[in-house]
Amino acid sequence: MSISLDLSGRTALVTGSTGGIGLAIAHGLGRAGAQVLVNGRGAARVEEAVDRLAKEVPEGRFTGVAADVTDADAVERLVAAHPEVDVLVNNLGVFGATPALEIDDDEWRRYFDVNVLSAVRLTRAYLPRMQEAGWGRVLNIASDSAVVIPAEMIHYGTSKAALLAASRGFAKAAAGTGVTVNAVIAGPTHTGGVEDFVHSLVDPGLGWEEAQREFMRTHRPQSLLQRLIEPEEIANLVVYLASDLASATTGGALRVDGGYVDSILP
């Protein structure tokens, strides 16, 4: 028996998709046949990402959408320009290490604006359209930090925990409509930003492979994978959840975390 993840005829919007996990998700959705709206704040980076994706997935259909989705007016313009989205992937996020007692109010607000409200705003805009159509997927990219709050970035963990709660709530709002809403709990993942983060926590003189091992050993020792996850491994789960095969999966917080979260529940 073969499994087909066919998203032909679907349009997907992936926020923060000019690099890292978002770019890998855009790649996976495009390869599955979806028309993908590639999003970032700067037009140059968006265009660069679209060009890269077009080369890697020549059969794919990728359109650049430069917009700051943390800005309500920008989101309104984005939705007006692209009103029909079948798969919404709220991937945009910000993270960084700061001692808990040094995180001021402005930084707390910034983390909630980026990690929570951008997703809430786009879901509020697109979910009614999906419900009218009788089909849709909303996927929020969360983090193991939502469950295992890291001492070095409690503002990040708290914002991602809020995203899990919002995902469950919107799933209830979409009950019985053919629209599913899920969160994906991504574990420690190998991206450019994470490389900088790792080097900020271990000896900056270490080479990447050694620095990665030291980071996992000292800061993420509970990982069963014992290595960083590659972005494509996150994207694989997202593409499945975006497909018809995941029609009975909603309201969930599904882990692709390398066994990092010590739990027998998904």
Give pLDDT tens digits for 213-252.
999 999 989 999 989 999 999 999 999 999 999 999 999 9
**The predicted structure's pLDDT at residue 1:** 53
Tokens of 97: 């290490």
Amino acid at 224: L
Give pLDDT tens digits for 7-29.
999 999 999 999 999 999 999 99
CA dist., res. 260 & res. 44, Å (int): 36
Question: DSSP string spanning 189-227?
Answer: B--HHHHHHHHHHS-TTS-HHHHHHHHHHHH-TT-SS-S
More confident residue, 116 or 204: 116
**The predicted structure's pLDDT at residue 108:** 98
**Is there a catalytic annotation at residue 156?**
yes
Q: Which class would CATH give 11-189+229-256?
A: alpha beta
Question: Given a cut of 80, is residue 165 above it in pLDDT?
Answer: yes
CA dist., res. 245 & res. 94, Å (int): 31
Domain boundary assignment for the chain: 11-189+229-256
Give pLDDT tens digits for 80-135.
999 999 999 999 999 999 999 999 999 999 999 999 999 999 999 999 999 999 99
Question: Given a cut of 60, is residue 174 above it in pLDDT?
Answer: yes
Rounded to 10°, the helix 231-242/20-31 angle is 50
How far is residue 103 from each of residues 17, 153, 198, measured CA to CA in Å?
A: 27, 9, 20
The residue annotated as part of the active site, out of 111, 126, 156, 260, is 156
pTM value surpassing 0.85: yes
DSSP 8-state code for residue 90:
E
Tokens of 75: 């989101």
**The predicted structure's pLDDT at residue 197:** 86
Burial letters for 152-165: b for 16+ Cβ neighbours within 10 Å, e otherwise?
A: bbbbbbbbbbbbbe
Amino acid at 245: L
CB distance 85 to 129 below 8 Å: yes
Question: Given a cut of 70, is residue 2 above it in pLDDT?
Answer: no
- CB under 8 Å to 62, separation ≥6 — which residues? 26, 30, 35, 36, 38, 50, 53, 54
